[in-house]
Amino acid sequence: MKKRTVAAVGVGTLTLAFAAVGLAGCGSNQDDGVVTIEMVQYKPEAVDVFEELEQKFNETHEDIQLVIDSPNDAMTILKTRFIREDYPDIVAIGGDINYSNFLDAGLFMDISDFDGLEDIKQAYLDMDKELEYVPMDGVYAVPYMANAAGVLYNRDMFEEHGWEIPTTWDEFISLCQEIQSEGVQPLYFGYRDVWTCLAPWNAMAVDLAPSDVCYQVNAGETTFAENYREVAEKQKQLLEYAQDDPFAYSYNDACTAFARGESAMYVIGSYAVPQIQSVNPEINIDSFVFPASNNPDENILNSGNDLQMSVMAACEHKEEAYEVMRFLLEDENVQFYVNDQSAVPCKEGDFELAPMLDSMKPYIEEGRLADYQDHHYPSEMSVDAMIQTYLLDDDENALDTFMERFDTEWVRYNRDVIRKVQEYMEQNPDKE
Amino acid sequence: MKTKMKHGEKVNWPITILLILGCLTVFFPLYMTIVIAFKQPSEMTNDIMGALALPKSWSFSNFAEAMRVTDFWNSLGNSLLLTVVTVVIAILLHGIASYAIGRSMAKSKAYNFIYLYIVSGMFVPFAILMMPLIKQTAQLGIANRFGVIVLYVVFYMPINLMLYTGYLKNIPIALEEAARVDGASTWKTYWSIIFPVMKPMHATVAVLTAMAVWNDVMTPLVIMSGTGKNTLPLAQLNFQTQFGTNYNLAFASYLLALLPILIFYLVCQKQIINGVVNGAVK
Amino acid sequence: MKNGKMKNDRQRTFMLITIPVVVLFFFFNTFPLLRGVYYSFTNFKGYGSYDFVGLRNYIDLFGDARVGNSYLFTVKYAVVCTIIVNVISLLLALGLNSKIKGKSVLRGIYFIPNILGGLVVGYIFSFFFTYILPYVGQALGIEALSSSMLSSESTAWFAIVLVGAWQSIAMNTIIYISGLQTVPEDVYEAGSIDGATGWKKFKNLTFPLIIPFFSINMVLCMKNFLMVFDQIMALTKGGPSQSTESISYLIYQNGINGGQFGFQSANAVVFFVVIVTISVLQLRFTGKKEEQL
């Protein structure tokens, strides 16, 4: 009796399950002249913005149906879809090493005939060019939104104490000393989350090293030891002004500490602001460009493509995909995104920026900016972990060890890319 | 039954007290989880007293919001579906397969090899199977919940096979030989004699399999992506983005997801203990 | 005659059950594994085109200090965790199986660590190691505890051991408890007549009977701990100074998230061979023990 019940329940569940699964398999293919454009964007925090933009687009376009996915862990999902050869029409991702790899795998379409490119700031277009392993003809991405990294500071604390925004390295260090002498913690780091080690690194490297240093190294023209020494030295020096044992604290701990006024400054990107504000909605934040050089003219803003759109090579509706991008690039929609995400638009124009970017505005307007250097580092090389190892290394040769390791590991992890670059140079001896 | 009565009267107090003290290692994290689940993000702090303090108000708004963000009932439904179906198949299929393999192992080299072959499958890192499986399930048209269940049935086969055959070692062959003499077929012998005797192991397998499926993120993430179906752990990824985590909502959601599996465990636990009338086995 | 027919029926039934199961297993486990082995000879990134690189990945693997360190860390972690977890969960199972008050409630409570989820465990234990433990250490004047365990190379691995053990004790306890159900009460009775108590009773009567479960737990522990990943992600992300990068962490981070799929496939293949060897030896060893008894 009992056994029969168990069996019946089992069979019942199975039948139900298969029925449900069977139903799920049905997809519909609209064949009424409406073209569906599917876009996958990788910032789940912007899901609300894109839902609204999607709705607005669909209300105004009868012949195109736009579907925007904002999946969690979008990079994994994109890669799995590429394996299945199940391509969306447009992908909106960051301008980083993943873009380089996807581009290198031939996944993107040349969109040099897209009219919207004319309005994009040249600096951001150049960044995408530099992400190509070997220079390619054509354009493969439309920079949409950028973020900016430097030093976040607590505006109220600065005003209260009369501290000034520094424009050179020496000024920055004396500011740190001054803050410290007044009994306030100047900096706070969350180095237990290794990736945060890259925040000061990137912000300083744009000032102290050429933006195409990785390409130069691949071409055999220079080494990292020649370019990164100063960056590494200065990052270690910053530890003197940080809380005790910064390697014990996480990114989240650091955000909470800064939000609660436990430190005056926090070297991180504008992307941390929402997390900080969630803890303290009242906090008055501004940010300034990291002055790593003693020559103020060399100090530029660390800003990179946070969201850029590429049309997949497999897309069959190029014109409709362009229409979608044109729509997203309309001033009104750009401003809508900027307001919600405190982002920096890549498009030329008079946009209203978030208050925490006030001190960076001149740099943004003049285009005095350069990409995150880590956008060129292969993630498997784990430069972030290497920096953490170096910062923890008390040996007097720590810097030499680190620099040597950077150069050897670079060669090991980039072997195929270096070969590609050198082949290219042999074939095009006169090109830079 | 008789023996139980005789021994059941005296409570072992020293052990009871030790076990209760040991619970503190669970209560402390659980306390923090609950407190954080009720707090607002603005109540999050780094100082110890503040972190351990009770929330300002015991409002269930975090739970309601967490349910909205994860599309709770749909995600729960998918999680339940995957878990229940996998567990049922595991008990039916892995049980009988273990019987066939376990009972033949002692005499047959081939079965011994099959046993080791399947058990060694548990050591294959999922990362190496992932890419090929994504392709394979897509080509077979089962990149959906059905495919995920098939994969689970295969993934948990090694551990369940090991558990069942381990248990069978303690079940004397004499038990089924009696049935054999009566002329019952092997098939029938299994379902009428062995299957019921393995009840505590069914419950154990059910708990372990259910727990593994319930908490799994990777398989549904890579296989079901694009079907628009979420499981609870998948939906919970919503709370974590690269640059920010809403711990309050996340913890509320984790507490909600914890309840069904805890109840399931308590039900199964009874079966593990009361399944065998002691002494009936050996 | 009749007996022979029965035997045939038994063998035929067993075969009819085993063959489809093996086929299913082959198709969704071994077959993709073979594809993975194939990728380990390429520079495949996980998508797009790739080239054959021969044995390059395997040669690199043996010269890679990072991979070498990950093996050292992982083995150290797994051995220590396996011992701690087996001792505690066996004690816990014996305790929870004895005549105690509030059995179900206690069993329920001890089960909770296993289902709390990585994000929760990560946050709470990070808080514990970063803020609470150093505070306690300073208050009591214990030098070793007065700074975070997670930021020092010499202690971070042990913090991960603690959390890993805390989470997995529940599962191994369940297995031991179900094993204890197969110990008939008359064994105890016979024992107590002979005056066997405590440790002696356990060693001579109980333990021999649950050896199959002991060997299952040993193998499962080795498997789970050698493949440690979640605790690393939750607590240290491989730091400090890359001292807690486990093998699975490298395979996943660099193979799936990074572009090193081919190389990490080679790593996974070698890793697979290593654990299978360890586990088969382990099973052989405990199997012999079982036979002796």
Q: How far is A25 from chain C (nearest CA, A)?
A: 21
Q: At what angle do helices A415-427 and A398-413 cross, to 10 degrees?
A: 70
Angstrom distances, CA of residue A123 to CA of A358, A367, B152: 20, 6, 49
* pLDDT more than 70, % of chain A: 92
Closest CA to C214 of C93, C99, C109: C93
Of residues A13, A25, A76, nearest to B222 (C-beta): A76
**pLDDT band for position C196 (50/70/90)?**
low
Beta strand pairing call for A344-345 and A142-154? antiparallel
Q: What is residue B274's predicted lDDT score, i.e. its pLDDT?
A: 63
**What is residue C52's DSSP assignment?**
B
Topology of domain C66-292, CATH: MetI-like fold (1.10.3720)
pLDDT at B8 over 50: no
**What is residue C42's DSSP assignment?**
B
Among all residues of chain B, which has the CA nearest to that of A255? B244
Alpha-carbon span C169 to C221, nearest angstrom: 10
* pLDDT more than 90, % of chain B: 50
How many folded domains does chain A comprise?
2
Residues A177, A322 within the same domain:
no
- Cβ proximity of B256 and A107 under 8 Å: no
Residue A143 gets the label, from left (phi > 0), alpha (psi -120 to 50) or beta, of beta
C39 CB near a chain B CB, below 8 Å? yes
Q: How far is A359 from chain C (nearest CA, A)?
A: 34
Domains of chain C, residue spans:
66-292
Q: What is residue B200's predicted lDDT score, i.e. its pLDDT?
A: 87
Closest CA to B123 of C222, C213, A102: C222
- Cβ proximity of A386 and A412 under 8 Å: no
Specify burial of residue C271 (Cβ count, 10 A radius: 0-12, 13-18, 19+): buried
The structure tokens listed for B66 are 């967490």
Q: What's the alpha-carbon Rg for chain C, to the nearest Å?
A: 24
Own/partner long-range contacts of B72-77 (Cβ < 8 Å, ≥24 apart): B72/B232, B72/B235, B72/B253, B72/B256, B74/B230, B75/B230, B75/B231, B75/B232, B75/B234, B75/B235, B76/B232, B76/B257, B76/B260
Residues in chain B within 8 Å Cβ distance of A18: 146
**Minimum mean pLDDT range among A332-341, C65-74, C135-144, C156-165:** C135-144
Q: How far is CA C45 from the centre of its chain?
A: 29
**pLDDT band for position C187 (50/70/90)?**
low
Task: Give me the sign of the Cα torsion angle C174, C178, B209, B253.
Answer: negative
- Cβ proximity of A203 and A292 under 8 Å: yes
Considering the domain boundaries, does residue A105 fall inside one? Answer: yes
Q: What is residue A2's predicted lDDT score, i.e. its pLDDT?
A: 45
C176 CB near a chain B CB, below 8 Å? no
Residues A108, A166 within the same domain:
no
Q: What is residue A7's predicted lDDT score, i.e. its pLDDT?
A: 45
> Are B46 and A80 within 8 A, CB to CB?
no
Q: In this predicted complex, what is the ipTM? A: 0.88
Q: What is residue C162's predicted lDDT score, i.e. its pLDDT?
A: 94
Alpha-carbon span C178 to A86, nearest angstrom: 46
pLDDT at A292 over 50: yes
Residues A275, A155 within the same domain:
yes
Collapsing DSSP to helix, strand or coil, A94 comes out as: coil
C188: which residues sit within 8 A by CB, 6+ positions away? C201, C205
Angstrom distances, CA of residue A209 to CA of A231, A292, A306, A381: 8, 11, 21, 20
> Are A388 and C49 within 8 A, CB to CB?
no
Specify burial of residue C114 (Cβ count, 10 A radius: 0-12, 13-18, 19+): buried
C249 CB near a chain B CB, below 8 Å? no
Alpha-carbon span A121 to A308, nearest angstrom: 13
Angstrom distances, CA of residue C178 to CA of B130, B166, B203, C153, C169: 33, 11, 9, 39, 14
Alpha-carbon span A245 to C242, nearest angstrom: 17
Q: How far is CA B75 from the centre of its chain?
A: 17
**pLDDT band for position A411 (50/70/90)?**
very high
Domains and CATH numbers, chain B: 71-274 (1.10.3720.10)
Of residues C48, C130, C257, nearest to A107 (C-beta): C48
Q: What is residue C272's predicted lDDT score, i.e. its pLDDT?
A: 93
Alpha-carbon span C27 to B137, nearest angstrom: 11
Angstrom distances, CA of residue C45 to CA of A79, A101, A126, B122, C61: 10, 8, 26, 25, 17
pLDDT at B251 over 60: yes
- Cβ proximity of A120 and A142 under 8 Å: yes
Residues A198, A284 within the same domain:
yes
Q: What is residue B161's predicted lDDT score, i.e. its pLDDT?
A: 95
Query: C residues 250-269 near B, CB within 8 Å?
Result: 251-252, 255-256, 261, 264-265, 268-269
Considering the domain boundaries, does residue A383 fall inside one? Answer: yes
**Which amino acid, one-letter code, is at A147?**
N
Q: Token pair 């730091």 is at which residue?
A: C239
Alpha-carbon span A330 to C178, nearest angstrom: 65
Considering the domain boundaries, does residue A4 fall inside one? Answer: no
Considering the domain boundaries, does residue A275 fall inside one? Answer: yes
Strands (E), B115-262: 240-241, 244-245
Query: B residues 30-59 near C, CB within 8 Å?
Result: 30, 32-33, 36, 46-48, 51
Considering the domain boundaries, does residue A9 fall inside one? Answer: no
Of residues B30, B122, B201, nearest to C112 (C-beta): B30
pLDDT in tens, A68-104: 998 888 888 898 888 888 899 999 999 998 999 999 8
Residues A386, A294 within the same domain:
yes
Among all residues of chain A, which has the CA nearest to that of B234? A72
Alpha-carbon span B96 to B191, nearest angstrom: 9
Residues in chain C within 8 Å Cβ distance of A423: none
**For B5-24, b where at least 16 C-beta lie within 10 A, e where not — what string?**
eeeeeeeeeebbeebeebee
Query: B residues 165-204 near C, CB within 8 Å?
Result: 166-167, 169-171, 180, 185-187, 200-201, 203-204
DSSP string for A273-284: HHHHHHH-TT--
A193: which residues sit within 8 A by CB, 6+ positions away? A250, A251, A252, C237
Q: How far is C261 from chain A (nearest CA, A)?
A: 10
- Cβ proximity of A411 and A418 under 8 Å: yes
Residues A221, A349 within the same domain:
no
Closest CA to C102 of B265, B206, B18: B18
The structure tokens listed for A387 are 């920096």
Beta strand pairing call for A369-370 and A301-311? parallel
Considering the domain boundaries, does residue A262 fall inside one? Answer: yes
Considering the domain boundaries, does residue A24 fall inside one? Answer: no
**Minimum mean pLDDT range among A197-211, B238-252, C64-78, C84-98:** B238-252
Residues in chain A within 8 Å Cβ distance of B145: 17, 20-21, 24
Q: Which domain holds residue A84?
A: 35-147+304-360
Q: What is residue B181's predicted lDDT score, i.e. its pLDDT?
A: 81
pLDDT at A28 over 70: no
Of residues C111, C177, C185, nearest to B279 (C-beta): C185
pLDDT at A25 over 60: no
Residues A263, A404 within the same domain:
yes
C119 CB near a chain B CB, below 8 Å? yes
Q: What is residue A24's predicted lDDT score, i.e. its pLDDT?
A: 40
- Cβ proximity of C81 and C71 under 8 Å: no
Element housing C22 (H / E): helix C2-25
Residues A265, A389 within the same domain:
yes
Collapsing DSSP to helix, strand or coil, A220 comes out as: coil
**pLDDT band for position C200 (50/70/90)?**
confident
> Are C48 and A105 within 8 A, CB to CB?
yes
Residues A295, A393 within the same domain:
yes
Residue A307's DSSP bridge partners are A145
Alpha-carbon span B154 to B156, nearest angstrom: 6
- Cβ proximity of C45 and C261 under 8 Å: yes
Helices (H), A250-357: 251-259, 273-279, 318-328, 331-341
Q: How far is CA C221 from the centre of its chain?
A: 3
The mean pLDDT value for C78-89 works out to 95
The structure tokens listed for A60 are 């105004």
Alpha-carbon span A202 to A149, nearest angstrom: 8
Alpha-carbon span C110 to C117, nearest angstrom: 15
Residues A172, A98 within the same domain:
no
Element housing A285 (H / E): strand A285-288
pLDDT at B280 over 80: no
- Average pLDDT value over all residues in chain C: 87
Residues A336, A382 within the same domain:
no
Report which listed range, A378-382, B145-149, C119-123, C289-293, is most confident.
B145-149
Angstrom distances, CA of residue B8 to CA of A68, B12, C107: 64, 10, 18
Residue A142's DSSP bridge partners are A309
Chains with at least 3 CB pairs less than 8 angstroms from chain C:
A, B
**pLDDT band for position A29 (50/70/90)?**
very low
Residues A192, A270 within the same domain:
yes
**Minimum mean pLDDT range among A409-418, A422-431, B88-97, C15-24:** A422-431
CATH number at residue A294: 3.40.190.10
Residue A68's DSSP bridge partners are A39
Cut 0.80: pTM above it: yes
C271 CB near a chain B CB, below 8 Å? yes
Alpha-carbon span A110 to A102, nearest angstrom: 13
**Minimum mean pLDDT range among A170-179, B107-116, C114-123:** C114-123
Residues in chain B within 8 Å Cβ distance of C198: none
